[in-house]
Homo-oligomer: A and B are copies of this chain.
């Protein structure tokens, strides 16, 4: 199944290239480049070429290439899943789950995490250079879908010479990719763990995304999407978008527990529009730190991809048809207080998988942390992921060492 892919080459980029734009030259990342002979065929009917995918790997690929785990990142995540982020200098976004001795054990598995196409950390996206013009794509970049992201990941696997993944794991938008992997490439995945996600974006979720996009586009510094060319940056609009989205990642209970009505560095209201309340100060920080590391147009593209996501629509509106007689092992995980992707959405996935005759286990984790629980210290999540992968590894003939 692995095709010869002579045009794709891997180049390591390191910190000493900074401060080059991470969009084209991602720091601390590997980059797979796909030339004119290897276009990415998009759902929009466009062939994107050339393009590149930035990625990271952790652990060692075994001799039979049977221990690869693909991790799919969420809307604002990237490939720096288990190592320090080159921009923020913070730990990898899933270091609690992935690493030596962790549930996704890099002593045992070869972990791959790629920046999605449309992203802004080195995979081709609106902030990348359009080789035809020598300028950033901006809105000339084609609109992409979750399936396009997965197609690009499949091409990366070809490039790496990996036929089949042992597992695909991801939460939120990452979970959508996981489901799409199972639907589009059932023979190329042994097991999948879609977490805190859905097979289609709800009207409420589309609505929240649309508000975020309007916030970005309302900022005059967005310049019709040409801000990189014109030396501008819609920081304020993107910050507002992030603030609004961030509320949806937390539960009402978590916000109450963390902040309640506590004042920030004061005992009485100031009767002003300062950030009197801790929760206001926290949100403002979320907004301002986000714009340091994320591209506004990428935010538009990735939210749009999520909105378009609807697996059933691609299968005669019958979700079970997407997974009919699937050989894949599923482990569906949801969180009780997640109101962005309610646990009912995960139940719907499980019902469809049952109807399709697929092998599925389902864990609904009780927590008040909301959607973001998948990124937080959730011992039950860790135990479930470890247990499911252990059993799958056994079934897959993987022993404990990485070299087998």
**Residues of A that sit less than 8 Å from B by CB:** 43-45, 139, 142-143, 200-204, 206-208, 210-211, 213-215, 217-220, 236-237, 239-240, 243-244, 247, 250, 252, 255-256, 258-261, 269, 271-273, 275-277, 279-280, 283-284, 287, 300, 304, 307-308, 310, 313, 339, 342
Contact = CB atoms under 8 A, between A and B. Distances in A.
A283 B239 contact: no
Contacts of A213: 273
Nearest to A304: B273
A40 to B, nearest CB: 14
A201 B247 contact: no
Contact of A211 (B220, B247, B252): B247
Q: Is the interface of A mostly helix, strand, loop or mixed?
A: helix
Contact of A284 (B208, B214, B310, B313): B214
10 contacts: A142-B271, A203-B255, A203-B261, A206-B277, A207-B280, A210-B279, A218-B239, A240-B240, A252-B339, A276-B307
B210 A252 contact: no
Contacts of A202: 252, 255-256, 261
A207 B271 contact: no
Q: Which 10 A-B pairs have the closest CB atoms?
A: A218-B236, A44-B271, A143-B271, A203-B255, A210-B280, A203-B259, A211-B244, A204-B252, A203-B279, A211-B243
Contacts of A201: 261
A271 B214 contact: no
Contacts of A244: 208, 211, 244
A206 B247 contact: no
Given A215-B215, A244-B211, A308-B269, A206 B143 contact: no
A207 B239 contact: no
Contact of A247 (B204, B220, B237, B272): B204
A271 B206 contact: no
Nearest to A259: B203
A319 to B, nearest CB: 13
Contacts of A304: 273
Contacts of A307: 276-277
A283 B210 contact: yes
Given A255-B204, A260-B203, A310-B261, A211 B273 contact: no
